[in-house]
Copies of this chain bind each other. A is one copy, B any other.
Amino acid sequence: MRISELSRVTGVPVPTVKYYLREGLLLPGTSTAPNQADYGEDHARRLHLIRVLREVGDLGIAQVRGVLEAIDREDLPLHHVMGVAHHALGPPPDPEPVSEEVARAREDVDRFLANLHWRVSLEAPARRTLADALVALRKLGRTAGPEIFKPYAAAADRIAARELSGAPAGASVAENVEWLVVGTVVFEAALAALRRLAQEHHSALRFAGRAGRRRVHRASTTDTAFA
C-alpha cells in the first residue's frame, strides 16, 4: 500500500508516519518509484504499536525506540521485553539526590515487597511511586508503615494474577507488549474510576440514611484500610 493508505488504516497522519521513518522507528518501504514506496502489513502493525506506545503509554521517542529495540532482539526472553515496556511507562527516575525521608520510605517499601516475596526488579518505577505515597502519609502526621498498604497489595495481587492469565493466546512479542501497555494504562484509569464510584456507593450505603450530623461510629472491624 502507499503511504496515504498506510496512514488511513492506522489512523496516523502522513507527516507523523514520515517522522517515524526519519527517526528509524519504522523500516522504509519497498521503493516503487522515485519518492514512492510500498508498505505492507508489517508496517501497519508496527505503526499501530508505535501509536499505542505514544498515545496510550505517553512515551517519548527515545523510550519508544528502546521498547522496539527490545522487541526486535530475538535473544531477549519475553519477560525481559515486557519489563522494558512496563518500566518505560514510568515515572522516570528523579535525577537529584533524594531526601532522607524519601530514602527511608524507599527502604521500607523494598522491605515490604521482599516480605511479600514478589519478584520485582529493584529498578521498577512503581517502587518509587509507592514510597512517595508513604511519604505523603507521613507528612500529614500519620505514623504510617508500609504494612498500611497490605490490603491494597492483596487486591493488586488478585487483579494482576487474573490479568496475566488473560495474556493473548498465540500472540507475538509485539502483540504482548501492546496488550501490556494498553492493559496497564487504560485499565489503571478504569480501576481508579471504579474505586471512586464504589466509594460513593458504599458511602451512600453507610451514611446516606443519617439526616443529621451525628458522629460516625466505627463498625466492629479491626483491620481498616485508608490508614
A211 touching B126 by the CB < 8 A rule? no
Give A206-227 interface residues, CB cut-off 8 Å to B.
Answer: 206-208, 210-219, 221, 223-227
Q: Are B124 and A176 neighbours in the complex by a CB distance under 8 Å?
A: no
How far is A121 from B196 in the complex, measured between Cα atoms in Å? 12
Closest to A176 in B: B216
DSSP majority for the A interface? Answer: helix
Give the residues in chain B near A98, CB-CB below 8 Å. none
Residues of B within 8 A of A137 (CB): 182, 186
A13: shortest Cβ distance to chain B, in Å? 15
Interface residues of A in 56-103 (CB under 8 A from B): 56, 74, 76-79, 82-83, 86, 89
Tell whether A33 is near chain B: CB-to-CB under 8 Å.
no
A140 contacts across to B, CB distance below 8 A: 48, 52, 56, 182
CB within 8 A of A121: which of B130, B173, B200? B200
| Cβ-based interface call for A197 (8 A) | yes
Asked if A4 CB lies within 8 Å of chain B CBs, one says: no
A126 to B183, Cβ gap below 8 A?
Answer: no
Q: Judging by beta carbons under 8 Å apart, are A169 and B218 in contact? A: yes
Decide if A160 touches B213 in the complex (CB within 8 Å): no
Whether the Cβ atoms of B168 and A218 lie closer than 8 Å is: yes
Q: Tell yes or no: A38 within 8 A of B by CB.
A: no
| Chain B residues with CB below 8 A from A194, complex form | 126, 130, 149, 152-153, 155-156
Contact A198 B79 (CB under 8 A): no
Q: Is A184 an interface residue (CB 8 A)?
A: yes
Q: Give chain B nearest CB distance to A108 CB in angstroms.
A: 13
A137-160 residues with Cβ-Cβ distance < 8 A to B are 137, 139-141, 149, 151-153, 155-160
In the complex the two chains form, is B79's CB within 8 Å of A199's CB?
A: no
Q: Do the beta carbons of B208 and A119 come within 8 Å of each other?
A: yes
CB neighbours of A221 from chain B (8 A): 165-166
Q: List residues of chain B with CB within 8 A of the CB of A127.
A: 193, 197
Contact with A170, one of B168, B176, B215, B225 (Cβ below 8 angstroms) = B215
Q: How far is the CA of A124 from the CA of B200 in the complex (A)?
A: 9
Return chain B residues, CB-CB under 8 Å to A198: 118, 153, 156-157, 159-161
